[in-house]
Amino acid sequence: MHLARPMKKAVAKTTKTQKQTTKKQLRSQTKRKFGSSAPTSDPRFSTINADVDRRAQARSMPATRLSKLENGLRVASEPQDGGLTTVCVSIDAGSRYETQENNGTAHFLEHTLFKGTSKRSRTELELEIEAMGGSLNAFTSREQTVFTATVQNRNMKHAMDLVADILQNSRVTDRAIENERGVIIEEMHMVQQDLQEVVYDRMHQSAYRGSSLAFDILGPLENIQRINKKNIDQYINTHYIAPRTVLSVVGGDFEHGEIVDLAQKHFGNMPTSPRNGIQPNKGVANFIGSDIRVRDDDMPRVNLAFGFETAGWNDADHYPLMALQMMLGSHHAQRSATDQYAASELVVNCAGNGWADSVQPFNTIYSDTGIFGLYAVAAPNVLDRLGDQMIRALVNHATHVPEQHLVEAKSKLKLSLLSQYEGTENTAQEIGRQLLSHGRRIHPGEVIARIDDIDQVAVQNVVKRFFLDQDFVVSAVGNVFELGDYAMLRKKSVVPWM
């Protein structure tokens, strides 16, 4: 009490201007206190001192050693601490290289290759990988097919022999095909229940109409029901060739020369050109601004996405786009109490006003094109405001990129990209993707340097190039009655303040 009196007198003697300044300072201090979970409400959080550590972490990562066999197959190895090693084979082949008639073959092939080889039965394959305490995985995307075997370090040679046998000596029998047909149809039904996947697939169908990039990875039901051994053999003979293949080995501390010798032993006979004379063709992807909606008034929620055309992996604006993705942020209803203090205006509005159960940016990249946009799940009665805010969130960055927000986004981006190198399997897959997409391995140190070079002007320019006054694709499933028509939504990308 005694100390309070002189404080009151001091305040009473201040001028009117000083009072206003003091009130502003108090409001600012209060905002920092209660918004401490928001990195942008206090510069100490947005500058994130971990930047220096990220650069040091990137520099400390080992360099990838590269070689090429005489048949054109690329071999990469990278040591990594721990007791596991991953042998990964990445092939430049996927649903984009298919036709309307054989769409789904790449994914079907992935399933059948694990059913036994000329050396090992299916049971023997499973017992061998189990005895090594390892795992076999595979996936097919629109542009790549990847096979991985992760085992203990001492079993690396055995794993490479196993993977090479599966890829080159698999017995694709009629019986195996029939057994997998039902499995793939069941998988297709499961995918159709995932509305996010449905929205993305329909977005591709509409955006790349008339090209192979519009195809579903699993293929249509009629194709799955008729794919046969001849289709699969033809796909193998066309695409599974050495120049379209990357072998990456991550883990242990093996000599690169030893890896190359093993690769020559197991993959040296891989053909250098298609054995059937059919040259792979991914076609041309022409983006079409369009609108595709599946209306179902009985659905309690709407799954909605806006997608803009961007550029491929090797475009100069690749990293500014990823920084923008981080700036847009993501929101989930379970986090509304903290998301209301986020840096992103879109996230704050969705959290504070209940405009969406969830909203998140996506950035899908291919060799020569890409789709960047926002995906949301929301109630039908908020679609008008939500759609407006989603487009506005993208185009507003053409003129307004807060420096603190960008610093925070760059720090998050570094952490996200460096986390891809956690674990031997993730690293091996990333090496394969980079060699197929970029033709070289991009060291994490270069990644950090490229992110550091991003400034406000770079983000503004990328928004002006890809989003401002550009056609986009709308994909929605649910009760879409209150979602504005395409012409009205399109205007929002022309004049963001309308």
Q: Is 70 a catalytic residue?
A: no
Task: Tell me the three-class secondary structure of the chain, residue by residue.
Answer: CCCHHHHHHHHHCCCHHHHHHHHHHHHHHHHHHHCCCCHHHCHHHHCCCHHHHHHHHHHHCCCCEEEECCCCCEEEEECEEEEEEEEEEEECCCHHHCCCCCCCHHHHHHHHCCCEECCCEHHHHHHHHHHCCCEEEEEECCCCEEEEEEEEHHHHHHHHHHHHHHHHHECCCHHHHHHHHHHHHHHHHHHHHCHHHHHHHHHHHHHCCCCHHHCCCCCCHHHHHHCCHHHHHHHHHHHCCHHHEEEEEEEECCCHHHHHHHHHHHHCCCCCCCCCCCCCCCCCCCCCCEEEEEECCCCCCEEEEEEEEECCCCCCCHHHHHHHHHHHCCEEHHHHHHHCCCCCHHHHHHHHHCCCCEEEEEEEECCCCEEEEEEEEECHHHHHHHHHHHHHHHHHHHCCCCHHHHHHHHHHHHHHHHHCCCCHHHHHHHHHHHHHHCCCCCCHHHHHHHHHCCCHHHHHHHHHHHCCCCCEEEEEEECCCCCCCHHHHHHHCCCCCC
From 110, 143, 408, 425, active-site residue: 110
From 78, 98, 143, 180, active-site residue: 180
Q: Is 110 a catalytic residue?
A: yes
Catalytic residues: 110, 180
